[in-house]
């Protein structure tokens, strides 16, 4: 059984320091996950890793098998999910290269599978969707490492795979700090399963509101430059995760009557 899961791009761990101990590709009630789940040790901590879009990047944001990913991790015993991701900035002070420890989201997606409970009505409380304990832990690590970071940030999640129009980007600026395509429904599915979820978002661009059109090459270039920082953040932070969870993330299903 593995307690910590990581969902992200394959570059978020150092191939030289990540000790692979196994690979599984389980079936779930929702199909198979995005790809094989790689199990191994990062900084001496056992983790289960899923490449969100598949190792060959075949799943666009709308088609990621989010429910299968979360269910597969849950079946492995995962209680804690760390999710490194790339985002655009909607505010001047959230600069490319900055780390944002997300604390809220706004859902602007349209056609995803949002819940495990399609056969009954279950109302999960998600006023604070991200684990506060994990956010505090990684904020402290970022501070110690001298990483430029933002302790809070509201993430507006759009459907994708296209980027925003200028009109959309300027509208979103009134409500959110960063913009991306994957935190929903991943975060809320984790809450339905009583799992802790932490989003470590790297700002790669200023979306399009600054009149500089964003393209995938810009995103990949900035993310590539920041990967070593995210890797070090994980290697430093993972060993500090306590054996006993003191947050209330695990209580969400019980409080909803699940």
Q: Is residue 85 part of a domain?
A: yes
Q: How confident is the model at residue 223 (pLDDT cuts 50, 70, 90)?
A: confident
Full domain range(s) for residue 179: 4-241
Catalytic residue annotation = 205, 207
pLDDT at 13: 62
pTM score, two decimals?
A: 0.94
Cα gap 91→205, rounded to integer Å: 11
The DSSP bridge partners found for residue 155 are: 105, 178
Residue 110 C-alpha from the chain's centroid:
19
pLDDT at 220: 75
Q: Is residue 149 part of a domain?
A: yes
Q: Is residue 132 part of a domain?
A: yes
pLDDT at 20 over 80: yes
Task: Give the lowest-confidence range in 51-65, 152-166, 175-189, 199-213.
Answer: 199-213
Mean pLDDT of 215-224: 77
Q: Is residue 128 part of a domain?
A: yes
Q: How confident is the model at residue 15 (pLDDT cuts 50, 70, 90)?
A: low
**pLDDT top residue among 216 and 178:** 178
pLDDT at 191 over 90: yes
Mean pLDDT of 83-92: 95
pLDDT at 169 over 90: yes
Closest CA to 7 of 210, 150, 187: 187
- CATH assignment of the domain containing 128: 3.40.50.1580
Cα gap 48→186, rounded to integer Å: 16
Q: Is residue 251 part of a domain?
A: no
Domain count within the chain:
1
Q: Is residue 39 part of a domain?
A: yes
pLDDT at 7: 96
Average pLDDT over the chain, rounded to an integer:
92
Cα gap 183→104, rounded to integer Å: 10
Q: CB-side exposure of 202: number of CA atoms within 13 Å? A: 25
pLDDT at 82: 97
Q: How confident is the model at residue 10 (pLDDT cuts 50, 70, 90)?
A: low
Report yes or no: 87 and 112 within 8 Å, Cβ to Cβ: no
**pLDDT top residue among 218 and 153:** 153
| Sign of the dihedral defined by the CA atoms of residues 240, 246, 248, 253, in that order | positive
**pLDDT 10s digits, 119-150:** 888 898 899 999 999 999 999 999 999 999 99
Q: Is residue 247 part of a domain?
A: no
Q: Is residue 56 part of a domain?
A: yes
**pLDDT top residue among 186 and 244:** 186
Closest CA to 43 of 237, 196, 198, 209: 237
């Amino acid at each position: 059984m593995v307690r910590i899961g990581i969902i992200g791009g394959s570059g978020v761990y150092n191939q030289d320091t990540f000790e692979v101990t196994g690979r599984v590709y389980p079936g779930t009630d929702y199909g198979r996950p995005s790809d094989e789940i790689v199990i191994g040790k990062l900084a001496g901590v056992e983790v289960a890793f899923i490449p969100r879009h598949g190792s060959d990047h075949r799943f666009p944001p709308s088609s990621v098998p989010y429910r299968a990913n979360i269910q597969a991790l849950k079946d492995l015993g995962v209680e804690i999910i760390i999710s490194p991701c790339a985002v655009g900035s909607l505010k001047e002070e959230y600069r490319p290269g900055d780390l944002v420890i997300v604390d809220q989201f706004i859902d602007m997606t349209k056609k995803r599978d949002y819940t495990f409970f399609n056969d009954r009505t279950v109302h999960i409380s998600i006023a604070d969707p991200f684990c506060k304990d994990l956010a505090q832990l990684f904020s402290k690590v970022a501070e110690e490492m001298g990483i430029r970071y933002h302790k809070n940030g509201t993430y507006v999640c759009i459907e994708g795979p296209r980027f925003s129009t200028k009109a959309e980007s300027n509208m979103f600026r009134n409500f959110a700090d960063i913009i991306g395509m994957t935190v929903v429904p991943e975060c809320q599915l984790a809450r339905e399963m009583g799992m802790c979820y932490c989003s470590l978002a790297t700002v790669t661009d200023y979306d399009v509101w600054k009149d500089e059109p964003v393209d995938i090459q810009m995103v990949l270039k900035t993310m590539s430059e920041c990967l070593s920082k995210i890797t070090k953040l994980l290697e430093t932070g993972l060993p500090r995760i306590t054996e006993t969870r003191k947050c209330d993330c695990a209580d969400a299903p019980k409080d909803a009557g699940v």
